[in-house]
């Protein structure tokens, strides 16, 4: 029976992988940054080399592009007044702790960019007004990545508590006001919505009314809502379709919690550090969870097998238990999500180091490797294809590292503009969003 | 302050053999003050160097009861800390990086060199002609200053958390980060990323000073709780000696002169700690300042404290 389930899962996974070659429907795609090998995919680029097109995107937003067919969806906000510009790197922002409050009107936008030409096919102003919450100077009011199923695109802006669905022609299908709340440090929001079956799942952890809720993707009607004992997090919920069940894994400071598809909690895990941002993801039958604010410790990574219930937290001195397969106390990342490629779990530390561990055991394959003395930092999550790992720095430099048990830097592709959004890779093209532009990187057509 | 930290540190024979010294009470009183943005202070000769915000101000203390401004130099970024070594002030100036001011004429400081580190420069220390810069982003950057016309990055040491400060003995640099603790760095290993020695401290330290005398090297860590003392004579194996709780419980910075440590202790003012036996410090004096003490420097028979709330009401007070 178990073999049959695993076979079915393998078929589903393969089908999903094939599908992902055509579309990139969510943050990090369906394979969490892993792309099927394709000799057509570009491995070198610059502002001019292998650029099929580049398009100015009005406004600002660190949300990633999502793609369905020839539709590339992006979100942004356009502010009327002058605002502090984001600063690269990790830094001590001073007395205000990095918080800033916008005073001018903003427009919350969604764009549909034509995959073939780079032209903005349509744009939709979803809301206009003064942001209700503050943000960290490095954050934007449009950091949540949209999600699409090819019928509609679902966009969520925690900064105004707006969840909406538009059809592929840019017509609004529905809109829900979920409430906008500051988190404990008032750094703004970033957790993207997730999509499963007929439900759009939103997690909004804040200092007033933290919740997770599911909405009917056709009507926007709230199906269920659960309260969460959290005050701020930025991690996107992950739909974990494992060999036993499908569950919604949410990462948070007080608890990592997993829920069934009706919002009932299945298991929980304590032991995270502050400022939880990396998105959980699955590979090799395990779900990986981490948090790694550099100013605190531990900065844990947990690899968890399916089937847990109740509290699966490690006891002091434990490094594993029935469900925690492995644990690393100081491997967590601050902003980047990690990557599994082959049998290696790659960690991209925000300060510019790459580490490799065995995905099944957590044992070190190689330790900290400084990627470049010049790199300002990394926020974008890594991706991989053709035996190579791609690491996009905040300078807009993509460093290319050979996949495998030995660290080897192969090259650097520069776009010379601040970049925090995680790219999308689809149909032989890499879509990279910089601070002002969207690039379609692709080899020349023969 | 570094200049003075490197001054004679006379460990008494009893301390070296584990005995206890007789601590003499010390009394201080305020003899002068000067209103100036003041986060950190150092003394050299008749001059006090005061960093506040972006500006390094130099005060003439020829008459301690009447400090006078001799000069000032504004950096484009906030000054987190600085050290006086030789004719220069080495300034950790946030995103600007390391600034090197020629202060051989205190009335006319001149920028001699600068080096942009990857993130925010927070602290600096010198081992010979090598600068160690605590950078919030990259860890501890090692900069070759053999030619001030062409400072060169030789490498960086990784620290686990955020680098806060760095100090030096004659051979090694010692850094602190939050939250992890204390690192011993060997200039000869600057290409390796790895510290020579490392130890978890009891609380996240913000500042470090190093005392060196008679073959023994002691690191004083301040911030995040008690004053913490480590024996780093063998830099590969730092040994925690003790944690000493000051009256405020939250000491901000320390300056050392001989066997005495002067602690800027926030609302509790300046505490004087006898460090003759670094395993067993003894509080021997204190003075309550009008505003919370943020930093302290000592030299030439004077103690100078930067006091204030960080709200534009800072001043330098001169104690004797």
Nearest by CB to A90, which of B137, B153, B156?
B137
Residues near B135 by beta carbon (within 8 Å), at least 6 away in sequence:
B117, B118, B119, B120, B121, B122, B141, B156, B163
Does the beta-carbon distance from A94 to B161 stay under 8 Å? no
Query: A87 falls in which pLDDT band (50, 70, 90)?
Result: confident
CA dihedral B274, B275, B278, B281 (to 10 degrees): 20
pLDDT at A15 over 60: no
List average pLDDT for each run of 10 residues in chain B, which is 320 residues long: 38 33 76 97 97 97 97 97 98 97 98 95 96 95 96 92 95 92 89 84 86 89 90 96 94 94 96 94 95 96 94 92
Please state the φ and ψ torsions of residue B83, each to the nearest 5 degrees: -135, 145
Measured between beta carbons, the chain B residues lying within 8 angstroms of A376 are 118-119, 137
Peptide bond preceding A253: is omega within 30 degrees of 0, i.e. cis?
A: no
Cross-chain Cβ contact A373/B161 below 8 Å: no
* SS3 of residue B14 by DSSP: helix
Q: Which two tokens stand for residue B300?
A: 């030439």
CATH for B72: 2.130.10.10
Contacts of A373 in chain B (CB under 8 A): 118, 138, 153, 155-156
Chain B interface, mutation test: which of A85, A89, A374, A397, most B Cβ atoms within 10 Å? Answer: A89
- Would you call the peptide bond into B179 cis, given omega within 30 degrees of 0 as the criterion? yes
A87 contacts B158? CB cut-off 8 A: no
Q: By the CB < 8 Å criterion, does A353 face chain B?
A: yes
What is the model's pLDDT at position A4? 52
B-chain CB neighbours of A297 within 8 Å are 160-161, 179-180
Q: Which residues of A touch B136 (CB under 8 A)?
A: 89-92
Q: Do A368 and B122 touch (CB under 8 A)?
A: no
Average per-residue pLDDT for chain A: 94
Chain segment A37-79, per-residue pLDDT in tens: 999 999 999 999 999 999 999 999 999 999 999 999 999 999 9
A353-371 pLDDT per residue, tens:
999 999 999 999 999 999 9
Residue B200: what pLDDT?
Answer: 82
A89 touches chain B (CB under 8 A): yes
DSSP for residue B188: G
B72-106 burial: b if 16+ Cβ within 10 Å, else e: ebebebbbbbbbbbeebbbbbbbbbbbbbbbbeeb
Chain A nearest-CA distance from B136, in A, is 6
Does the pLDDT at position A305 exceed 50? yes
Six token digits for residue B35:
């209103």
Contact check, Cβ <8 Å, A377/B137: yes
The answer to whether the Cβ–Cβ distance between A92 and B158 falls below 8 Å is no
Domain that holds residue B166: 2-319
Q: How many CB atoms lie within 10 A of CB B313?
A: 13
Residue A375 in contact with partner chain B when CB distance is under 8 A? yes
pLDDT of residue A3: 46
What pLDDT is recorded for position B28? 92
Q: Which fold has domain A2-441?
A: Methylamine Dehydrogenase; Chain H (2.130.10)
Q: Chain A closest CA to B120's CA: distance in Å?
A: 6
Look at B160 and A351 and tell me if their CB atoms are within 8 Å.
no
Chain A residues whose beta carbon lies within 8 Å of the beta carbon of residue B120: 91-92
> Is residue A370 within 8 angstroms of chain B, CB to CB?
yes
Q: What ipTM was reported for this prediction? A: 0.85
**pLDDT of A21 higher than 70:** no
The strand pairing partners of B211, in sequence order, are B218
| Strand A409-414 to A397-402 pairing | antiparallel
Instruction: Give the chain A residue whose CA is nearest to the CA of B138.
Output: A351
Cα nearest neighbour of B53 on chain A: A94
Query: Using an 8 Å Cβ cutoff, are A342 and A358 in contact?
Result: no
pLDDT digits over A246-275, tens only?
999 999 999 999 999 999 999 999 999 999
User: 């039958």: which residue's tokens?
Assistant: A285
DSSP assignment of B70-115 equals EEEEE-SS---EEEEETTEEEEE-BTT-EEEEE-SSTTS-EEEEEE
Residue B99: HSE in the Cβ half-sphere, 13 Å Cα cutoff:
27
Q: With a CB-CB cutoff of 8 Å, which residues 295-334 of chain A face chain B?
A: 295-297, 330
A368 touches chain B (CB under 8 A): yes
Domain boundaries, chain A: 2-441
Contacts of A356 (CB under 8 A, 6+ apart): A344, A345, A346, A347, A364, A365, A366, A405, A407
Determine, for residues B118 and A373 on separate chains, whether the beta-carbon distance falls below 8 Å: yes
Neighbours of A343 (CB within 10 A): 14
Q: Say how many domains are in chain B.
A: 1
């Amino acid at each position: 029976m178990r073999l049959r389930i695993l076979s079915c899962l393998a078929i589903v996974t393969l089908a999903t992988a094939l599908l992902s070659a055509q579309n990139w429907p969510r943050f990090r795609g369906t394979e969490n940054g892993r792309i099927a090998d394709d000799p057509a995919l570009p491995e070198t680029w610059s502002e001019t080399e292998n650029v099929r097109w580049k398009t100015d995107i009005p406004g600002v937003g660190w949300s990633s592009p999502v793609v369905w067919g020839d539709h590339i969806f992006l979100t942004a906000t356009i502010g009327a007044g002058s605002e502090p510009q984001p600063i690269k790197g990790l830094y001590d922002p001073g007395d205000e702790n990095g918080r800033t409050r916008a005073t001018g009107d903003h427009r919350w936008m969604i764009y549909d960019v034509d995959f073939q030409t780079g032209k903005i096919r349509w744009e939709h102003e979803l809301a206009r007004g003064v942001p209700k919450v503050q943000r960290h100077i490095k954050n934007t009011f449009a950091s949540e990545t949209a999600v699409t199923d090819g019928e509609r695109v679902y966009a969520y802006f925690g900064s105004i508590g707006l969840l909406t669905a538009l059809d592929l022609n840019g017509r609004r299908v529905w809109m829900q006001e979920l409430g906008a709340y500051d988190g404990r440090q008032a750094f703004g929001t970033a957790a993207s919505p997730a999509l499963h079956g007929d439900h759009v799942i939103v997690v909004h952890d804040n200092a007033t009314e933290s919740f997770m809720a599911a909405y009917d993707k056709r009507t926007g009607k709230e199906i269920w809502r659960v309260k969460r004992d959290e005050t701020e997090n930025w991690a996107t919920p992950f739909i974990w379709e494992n060999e036993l069940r499908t569950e919604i894994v949410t990462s948070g400071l007080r608890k990592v919690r997993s829920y069934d598809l009706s919002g009932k909690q299945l298991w929980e895990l304590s032991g995270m550090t502050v400022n939880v941002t990396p998105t959980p993801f699955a590979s090799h039958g395990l779900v990986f969870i981490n948090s790694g604010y550099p100013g605190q410790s531990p900065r844990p990574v947990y690899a968890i097998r399916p089937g847990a219930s109740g509290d699966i937290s490690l006891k002091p001195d434990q490094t594993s238990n029935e469900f925690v397969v492995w644990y690393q106390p100081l491997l967590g990342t601050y902003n980047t999500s990690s990557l599994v490629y082959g049998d290696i779990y790659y960690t991209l530390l925000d300060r510019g180091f790459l580490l490799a561990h065995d995905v099944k055991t957590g044992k070190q394959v190689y330790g900290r490797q400084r990627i470049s003395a010049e790199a300002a930092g990394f926020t974008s999550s890594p991706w991989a294809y053709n035996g190579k790992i791609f690491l996009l720095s905040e300078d807009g430099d993509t460093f290319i590292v050979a996949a495998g048990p030995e660290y080897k830097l192969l090259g650097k592709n520069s776009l010379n503009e601040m970049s925090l959004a995680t790219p999308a890779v689809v149909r032989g093209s890499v879509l990279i969003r910089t601070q002002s532009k969207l690039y379609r990187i692709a080899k020349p057509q023969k | 302050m570094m200049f003075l930290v490197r001054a004679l540190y006379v460990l008494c024979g009893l301390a070296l053999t584990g005995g206890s010294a007789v601590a003499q009470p010390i009394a201080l009183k305020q003899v002068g003050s000067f209103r100036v943005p003041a986060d950190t202070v150092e003394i050299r000769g008749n001059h006090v160097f005061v960093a506040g915000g972006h500006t390094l101000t130099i005060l003439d203390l020829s008459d301690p009861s009447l400090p006078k401004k001799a000069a000032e130099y504004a950096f484009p970024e906030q000054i987190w800390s600085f050290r006086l070594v030789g004719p220069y002030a080495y300034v950790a100036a946030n995103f600007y990086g390391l600034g090197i001011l020629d202060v051989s004429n205190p009335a006319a400081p001149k920028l001699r060199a600068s080096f942009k580190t990857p993130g925010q420069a927070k602290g600096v220390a010198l081992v010979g002609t090598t600068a160690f810069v605590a950078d919030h982003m990259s860890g501890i950057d090692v900069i070759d200053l053999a030619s001030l016309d062409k400072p060169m990055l030789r490498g960086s040491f990784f620290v686990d958390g955020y680098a806060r400060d760095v100090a030096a003995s004659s051979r090694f640099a010692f850094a602190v980060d939050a939250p992890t603790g204390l690192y011993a760095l060997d200039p000869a290993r600057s290409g390796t990323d790895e510290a020579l020695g490392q130890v978890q401290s009891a609380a996240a330290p913000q500042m470090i000073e190093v005392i060196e005398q008679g073959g023994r090297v002691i690191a004083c860590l301040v911030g995040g709780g008690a004053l913490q003392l480590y024996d780093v004579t063998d830099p590969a194996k730092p040994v925690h000696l003790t944690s000493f709780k000051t009256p405020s419980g939250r000491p901000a910075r320390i300056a050392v002169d001989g066997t005495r440590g002067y602690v800027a202790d926030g609302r509790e003012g300046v505490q004087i700690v006898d460090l003759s036996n670094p395993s067993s410090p003894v509080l021997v004096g204190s003075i309550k300042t009008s505003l919370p003490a943020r930093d302290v420097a000592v030299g030439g028979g004077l103690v100078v404290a930067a006091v204030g709330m960080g709200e534009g009401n800072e001043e330098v007070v001169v104690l004797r």
